[in-house]
Amino acid sequence: MTFTAPTAIADIGVTGLGVMGANLARNLARNGFKVAVHNRSIGRTQRLIADHGAEGEFFPAESVENFVASLSTPRVAIIMVQAGPPTDAVIEQLAAHMDPGDIIVDCGNSQYQDTRRREASLRERGLHFVGAGVSGGEEGALLGPAIMPGGTVESYDRLGPMFEAIAAKADGEPCCTHVGPDGAGHFVKMVHNGIEYADMQLITEAYDIMRTLGMSAPEIGGVFAEWNTGDLESYLIDVTAEVLRHEDAKTGRAFVDILVDRASQKGTGAWTVQTAAALGVPVTGIAEATFARSLSGSVAQRAAAAQTLPGHAEELTVADRTAFIEDVRRALYASKMVAYSQGFELIRAASDEYGWGVKLGEMAKIWRAGCIIRARFLDRITEAYTRDAELPLLLADEFFVDAINDAVPAWRRVVTAAFEAGIPVPAFASSLAYYDGVRAPRSSAALIQAQRDLFGSHTYQRVDMAGTFHTRWSADRAEEQWD
């Protein structure tokens, strides 16, 4: 392959041709767009053209300068590189050759505060910066992902038609919409990933319960396959059924049984939990899912503790296994509702904090296809926010009220049985505890107010009069009003 002198005719460019970047470029080309492509190492550019050049019109560039020069104006350049300093470096390389009005798009998994910083910095230079969350993995990038672009309305006017063309479609509608200004797109993608953590952990806990019932992996896979025909229908339930029924070619054993029980993570779950804590939003299911992965990493520690700390049952015995498995399904569904409710509460809190104006119903709509958490259940969320766009708590919607009420007895039976058998179900249990807590007319936190005032003079409020008060605990214990 030879690199020719650049001509400014490409509709859009992609720099960073790892699997995700290359597949995104191919998706754009397959949909009729002229795509400039560039990579720091020329070999990846050459391989893309050699292997897939016939899929559309590609314009390979050997340098950043030629890459930018090959783009029609106003230029649109997508970055698909590692988050953090590498992204900052590529932004600076591109910006040095761009003109006011041009658009740089970060489609990686960047932290939303980094996106806010970059957007503000480039805005001062007359450039648009868009943080766009992309979900769907390698296959989604090629065949149609869910895309969550932030940035200005003006940048979306230029970028949106291209993204909507390559995005997944649900009921004929593209799974892409303008999320909101600056870091809104990457924030929503972060929460998407946090919900994904919770969903996967809940599924895993359901699997663990059935495994302790003495069921084989293929047998459990069959249960998940059946569940995937009902209200739990989703991509994650589908892949769970598939992997549980997969046989290892080397040993003939169930594939899942020969894997090390350690789940890795890339950090978006932790980002979600940290952000929620800063905003005061209790994303308990996401937090427990994140910490469960951390605990799974302590393989040697767990193996040693298993020899000295008793409690985990070898087998769970129930009177009616079929009925209990149905209880597990209901508990999974209820816990899933809580995870999504917490995620949407977090998006609302950030939208209010930063003035983004995120439309929650639209977020549920664009997650219906292409992304990892796509599920039938998302239609219910869209319907809830259609009924009330300002719904303060998703669980308070009429559908969710009825669905949760129907599931609560089973939910309690499952968590109780797991506790008695020593089966760890942190996501199930924390979701149930959140449900009980969010509907408690009077919580136990009054005691915490009193404790904090005694040891730290942190003050308290009373239910019977306005103002802030402090008791002189170490003196005469008289109460004084501080405002």
Q: What is the 3-state secondary structure (H, E, C) of 96-139?
A: CCCCCCCEEEECCCCCHHHHHHHHHHHHHCCCEEEEEEEECHHH
Judged by DSSP in three states, 272 sits in: helix
Torsion angles phi and psi, residue 269, rounded to 5: -65, -45
Burial of 453 (0-12, 13-18, 19+ CB in 10 A): middle
Catalytic residue set: 189, 196
Distance of CA 376 to the CA centre of its chain: 17
| Percent of the chain at pLDDT exceeding 90 | 91
- What is the C-alpha to C-alpha distance for residues 398 and 408, in angstroms, rounded to an integer? 16
Contacts of 371 (CB under 8 A, 6+ apart): 135, 136, 140, 145, 146, 168, 175, 192, 235
Is residue 177 over pLDDT 70? yes
Check whether 39 is labelled as a binding-site residue.
yes
Q: Work out the average pLDDT over 479-483.
A: 93
The one-character DSSP state at 62 is: S
Q: Taking the domains of the chain in order of start, what are their residue ranges?
A: 12-182, 189-438, 445-481
Q: For residue range 126-146, what is the model confidence (pLDDT) as tens digits?
A: 999 999 999 999 999 999 999
Distance CA 19, CA 137 (A): 9
Asked if the model's pLDDT at residue 2 lies above 70, the reply is no
**SS3 at position 147:** strand
- Least Cα distance to 361 among 312, 335, 313, 397 occurs for 397
Q: Is the pLDDT of residue 123 over 70?
A: yes
17 marked as binding residue: yes
Which CATH topology does 445-481 take?
Answer: 1.20.5
Beta strands 169-170 and 146-149: pairing type? unpaired
Residue 1 is predicted with a pLDDT of 59
Confidence of residue 5 (pLDDT cuts 50, 70, 90): low
pLDDT tens for 292-334 read 998 888 888 888 888 888 766 678 989 999 999 999 999 999 9
Q: What pLDDT, on the 0 to 100 scale, is given for residue 344? A: 98
Q: Is 109 known to sit in a ligand binding site?
A: yes
Give me 81's structure tokens: 């590189």
Tokens coding 359: 């439309």
Q: Give me the chain's average pLDDT, please.
A: 95
| Residue closest to 415 by CA, chosen among 340, 289, 327 | 327
| pLDDT value at residue 4 | 58
Burial code (b: 16+ CB inside 10 Å, e: under 16) for 13-42 equals bbbbbeebbbbbbbbbbbeebbbbbbbbee
Query: Whole-model pTM above 0.85?
Result: yes
- The helix (run of H) or strand (run of E) holding residue 77 is strand 76-79
Q: Is residue 88 predicted with pLDDT exceeding 70? A: yes
CA distance 261 to 256: 9
Whether 81 has a binding-site annotation, put simply, is yes
The residue-averaged pLDDT of 74-86 equals 95
CATH number for the region 12-182 comes to 3.40.50.720
The dihedral built from the CA positions of residue 345, 172, 80 and 36, taken in this order, carries a sign that is negative
Q: In sequence order, which residues have a C-beta less than 8 Å from that of residue 250 and are 6 or more positions away?
A: 258
Average pLDDT estimate for 246-264: 91
329 is in an annotated binding site: no
Q: What is the CATH number of domain 189-438?
A: 1.10.1040.10
- Model pLDDT, residue 304: 84
Task: Please state, in angstroms and as integers, the Cα–Cα distance from residue 127 to each residue in 16, 117, 154, following that order.
Answer: 20, 13, 11
Q: What is the pLDDT of residue 3?
A: 62
What is the reported pLDDT for 94?
A: 98
40 annotated to a ligand binding site = yes
